[in-house]
Chain A
């Protein structure tokens, strides 16, 4: 039996201190937002003008011009090729880096920090900036695009695979050490089978992302559909631009469908 309370018991979700902290945090967020909104310089007349501009642009784009369709499809295929080759070559660099970057497999601290530095460097530079760099080195073209996508992907794949390696069950590793297997054989039998599902998931996801990334590479001259898009925009060939945009949307959708199907088959 529960004793009857002598006075009404009070229950509150937050203590006084917690309420004050939450209030101060809220004020801080509002302050940062209003500071940002005040600081950026938006030219408002252009904003009010936007509906008219949208109408005008749509008018100039319509109907899409299919005359350069053959060339556009060719460039779209090239875009996919860039993504595919870049994703494939990423594997050979990202997996060793992932191995070094995982706490439980790295040979020593120096390797760990080296690998982590590579991963952070790769991810902190945007694909377009990598592309600018490689266009400067190798000149405009597909090679610069492939290298740019690859450099950005190494960080992504390496980090996720490194985390997958860190999450493996240690017990099979112990068992393989106990049978007298050398380090490479321990990795082959105890580590690799455990990270295979993660590997396919990550590679398929990255291929999907790389298709989308490689569509803009052409803007800096690194090959793919972006080259034609840039040319069309520069010459105000808006109906052609419309065709290209439609092509990109269809390509990305197809990529989405294909990777979705692959994922469901592999996993």
Chain B
């Protein structure tokens, strides 16, 4: 269970990016976070695994306070938080298998990591997960030889290799074509229920958020202004989140777009 309370992030003396955010994610629910660029979606996710230092507030994962961790305890906490990135963030010159096993780096020693001597059960888990998402045949290919959708599957498997308690996905489909991005969203939803894993997805595509997640959180200017099921996410909510900032993908949400007129 992830409990965030009164989370504030301020860069320098500027206006805070996150202004006292409260969020609670339980069980194996898939939650999407929507909002215009600059609303603080990315900052929120990166505060959870501390790629960004929160200014104040509390983040608790399964009862453990994350916001005050440093050094080794922080790294141990990060092992239990998987992250999938918009740009995949793979190591291009390494093979798919090496990229996948990199998800175990928090668990193995330096020498093991260097000599690529991962425990047999890690390798077994890697093959199992790669087969599950359909990339096992690429195990010995270099990561940069794969297509975008395949690369993101590698990213997802790497995160799952961590045996995470929660999965964070920062715009996982924004660099992909529409068909591939639907596949990745379906895959993440399926994996979430198979592994009973809570998933937090930052997403620009409102239609996908409605179709593939069971809860939508709307951010605007660092504040949560919507929290509810996709059914409750109507034209008014859309207008509140995106209104006056940028046109959302209107063709993708015809009912909402019509209702708004």
Contacts and interface: CB of A to CB of B under 8 A. Distances in A.
A180 B105 contact: yes
A175 B90 contact: yes
A96 B76 CA distance: 27
B110 A180 contact: no
A174 interface: yes
Given A171-B85, A189-B94, A193-B94, A177 B78 contact: yes
A179 interface: yes
A146 interface: no
A178 interface: yes
Nearest to A186: B105
Chain A facing B: main interface SS: helix
Contacts of B82: 179
Interface string A167-188: 0010110111111111011001
Nearest to A193: B93
A75 to B, nearest CB: 40
A134 B29 CA distance: 69
B76 A171 contact: no
Interface in B50-98: 51, 72, 75-79, 81-83, 85, 87-94, 98
A175 B89 contact: yes
Chain B interface residue bracket vs A: 20 to 34
Contacts of A181: 75, 102, 105-106, 113
Interface string B158-175: 110010000000000000
Contacts of A190: 91
Contact of A171 (B79, B87, B162): B87
B106 A180 contact: yes
A179 B110 contact: no
A190 B91 CA distance: 6
B140 to A, nearest CB: 15
Interface in B31-65: 49, 51
Contacts of A176: 102, 105
A182 B71 CA distance: 9
B93 A175 contact: no
A178 B78 CA distance: 6
B110 A184 contact: yes
Given A174-B51, A178-B51, A189 B105 contact: yes
Given A174-B51, A178-B81, A179-B106, A185 B113 contact: yes
A7 B114 CA distance: 74
Contact of A185 (B77, B91, B110): B110
Contacts of A193: 91-94
Contacts of B104: 179
B85 A179 contact: no
Nearest to A178: B83
Nearest to B83: A178
Given A171-B87, A174-B51, A180 B162 contact: yes
A177 B102 CA distance: 11
A181 B162 CA distance: 11
Interface in A222-267: none
B248 interface: no
A190 B105 CA distance: 12
A180 to B, nearest CB: 3
A232 B83 CA distance: 69
B103 A174 contact: no
A172 B90 contact: yes
A192 to B, nearest CB: 9
B110 A172 contact: no
B89 A180 contact: no
A171 B106 contact: no
A179 B113 contact: no
Q: Nearest 6 A-B pairs (CB), nearest first?
A: A180-B106, A180-B78, A175-B89, A181-B105, A180-B79, A171-B89
Interface of B: 49, 51, 72, 75-79, 81-83, 85, 87-94, 98, 102-106, 110, 113-114, 155, 158-159, 162
6 contacts: A176-B105, A177-B51, A179-B82, A181-B105, A189-B94, A189-B102
Given A188-B113, A189-B113, 13 more contacts: A172-B90, A174-B51, A175-B155, A177-B78, A178-B51, A178-B81, A179-B83, A181-B106, A181-B113, A185-B105, A188-B110, A193-B94, A194-B92
